Amino acid sequence: MSSALNLAHEPLTKIPSGKLAMWAFLASELMFFSGFFGAFIVLRSGNYDVFGAGSAMLDWKLATLNTFILIGSSLTMALSIYHLEKKNNNMFRLFIGLTTLGGFGFLIVKWIEYSAKFHHGLFPGQEHHTLFFSFYFLMTGFHAVHVIAGMIPMGYMFFRSFSKDGYPYPWKVETLGLYWHFVDLMWIFIFPALYLMIPYHAAVAGH
Amino acid sequence: MSDHANPIPSYMKVFYALLSLTVLTVVAAKLLEFPHSWGTPGDMLHVSIGVVIAVVKVLCVMYIFMHLKFDSKLLRAFVAIPVALFIAMIFGLMFLEHFSYTH
């Protein structure tokens, strides 16, 4: 093999290529979410009552539960990487399995929340829809798609860990871990923005 | 990765910090639901507390869970630039919008 095609050499940056690529991808994802947050802040300011009333109709208790679930799954993700690097495949399987379960738990709670909103006619096109609910479904829906996308390779790694030699690629789990923590990070911003910033008069009207 | 000590205690610390900060942000938001409307210092305080707590949580996750503490300065700089711009955008827009509706 000619040296020009030798892909095994250490990169000039000393940063593993996969890791650098994931960070670059996450930076582009951050731009995606920046568009949502930027539009949300500007329109919230101009439509304060609509956003306050919408926010007061959301179930902040379910959202708090989901925050706890995602934080827990971030912890189990970090622990699964640690155990795979120590070549402890059984512990890796336990923690990657728990992380995947956390993803499922999050989606189930999300579905309960969504069903209530559909039932109350708040989805775009239904009779009680407002500008706030466009943002609600756009931001939480886009976030939920990210949760699903992360669970696919996670489930694959879980099942691969049952093979004879266990799951062999710790760096792939580490790269997926960066993505999974990013999904948690975006929820950390979405949660107060949508669920908690309720003006008093809207909070009273919503109950 | 093998040259640093057992990371589990710091993972647990971040985990407990994230749980506590979540409780704090909910309690702060619920306590601050005093009568106010847009353009009052009360709402700005309300929103700022939520955003500041979120930023602290995000930095905890990035530094420990995402291993930036153990990464090179080059990677940290690579990450810091978009994140700083994002946070600057959030605060910048919040305050600009706040003043544009204050008469």
Give the pLDDT confidence of A74-89 residue by residue, as tens digits. 999 999 999 999 999 9
According to CATH, the topology of domain A35-206 is Four Helix Bundle (Hemerythrin (Met), subunit A) (1.20.120)
Chain B residues within 8 A of A86 when measuring between CB atoms: none
Q: Say if B29 is an interface residue toward chain A (CB within 8 Å).
A: yes
Q: What total number of domains does chain B contain? A: 1
- Cβ-contact A189, B54 below 8 angstroms: yes
Whole-number Cα distances in Å, B64 to A121, A173, B14: 42, 16, 7
- Would you call B61 and A74 a contact, using CB atoms and an 8 Å cutoff? yes
Among candidates B19, B53, B74 on the partner chain, residue whose Cβ is nearest the Cβ of A15: B74
Which tops the pLDDT comparison, A122 or A3?
A122
**B72 inside domain:** yes
User: Which structural domain range is residue B83 located in?
Assistant: 8-100
pLDDT of B72 above 70: yes
pLDDT recorded at residue A1: 44
What's chain A's length in residues? 207
**B2 inside domain:** no
pLDDT recorded at residue B48: 87
For the segment B32-41, the average pLDDT, to the nearest whole number, is 58
Rounded to an integer, what distance in angstroms lies between the CA atom of residue A79 and that of residue A95?
A: 7
pLDDT recorded at residue A5: 57
- Cβ-contact A127, A135 below 8 angstroms: no
For the segment B4-30, the average pLDDT, to the nearest whole number, is 91
pLDDT recorded at residue B78: 93
For the segment A147-163, the average pLDDT, to the nearest whole number, is 96
Of B61, B60, B54, which is closest to residue B94 (Cα–Cα)?
A: B54
Chain A residues within 8 A of B98 when measuring between CB atoms: 45
pLDDT of B89 above 60: yes
Q: What radius of gyration, in Å, describes the C-alpha atoms of chain A?
A: 20
- Cβ-contact B49, A183 below 8 angstroms: no
Category of A166 on φ-ψ map: left (φ > 0), alpha (ψ -120 to 50) or beta: left
Of A134, A143, A142, A113, which is closest to residue A44 (Cα–Cα)?
A: A134
pLDDT recorded at residue A74: 97
Among candidates B36, B62, B83 on the partner chain, residue whose Cβ is nearest the Cβ of A199: B36
Whole-number Cα distances in Å, A90 to A28, A82, A94, A161: 35, 12, 6, 8
- Cβ-contact B65, A78 below 8 angstroms: yes
Of A110, A2, A29, A20, which is closest to residue A66 (Cα–Cα)?
A: A110
**B15 inside domain:** yes
ipTM for the predicted complex comes to 0.89
What's chain B's length in residues? 103
* Mean pLDDT (chain B, rounded): 85
- Would you call B1 and A85 a contact, using CB atoms and an 8 Å cutoff? yes
pLDDT of B38 above 90: no
**B82 inside domain:** yes
Instruction: Work out the minimum CA distance from A38 to partner chain B, whole angstroms.
Output: 7
pLDDT recorded at residue A120: 92
- Parse chain A into domains and list their residue ranges: 35-206
Of A17, A75, A104, which is closest to residue B65 (Cα–Cα)?
A: A75
Rounded to an integer, what distance in angstroms lies between the CA atom of residue B78 and that of residue B101?
A: 36
Please name the residue of chain A whose CA is at the shortest distance from the CA of residue B72: A15
State the number of CA atoms in the 13 A half-sphere of B67 facing the CB. 26
Among candidates B46, B65, B93 on the partner chain, residue whose Cβ is nearest the Cβ of A42: B93
Which tops the pLDDT comparison, A96 or A127?
A96
pLDDT recorded at residue A207: 46
In the structure encoding, which two tokens stand for residue B101, read together? Answer: 């509706």
pLDDT recorded at residue B3: 47
Angle at which helix A131-160 crosses helix A170-190, to 10 degrees, equals: 160
pLDDT in tens, A18-73: 999 999 999 999 999 999 999 999 998 888 888 888 988 999 999 999 999 999 99
Chain A residues within 8 A of B31 when measuring between CB atoms: none
CA A101 to chain centre: 14
Q: Where are the alpha helices (DSSP H) in chain B?
A: 8-31, 41-60, 73-100
For the segment A130-141, the average pLDDT, to the nearest whole number, is 95
For the segment B76-102, the average pLDDT, to the nearest whole number, is 87
**B41 inside domain:** yes
Band (pLDDT 50/70/90 cuts) for residue B29 is confident
- Would you call B78 and A23 a contact, using CB atoms and an 8 Å cutoff? yes
Question: Which candidate in B66, B73, B76, B96 is best for mutational testing of the A interface (most A CBs within 10 A)?
Answer: B66
Band (pLDDT 50/70/90 cuts) for residue A144 is very high
Question: Which candidate in A37, A40, A67, A174 is best for mutational testing of the B interface (most B CBs within 10 A)?
Answer: A67
- Would you call A45 and B98 a contact, using CB atoms and an 8 Å cutoff? yes
pTM metric for this prediction: 0.90
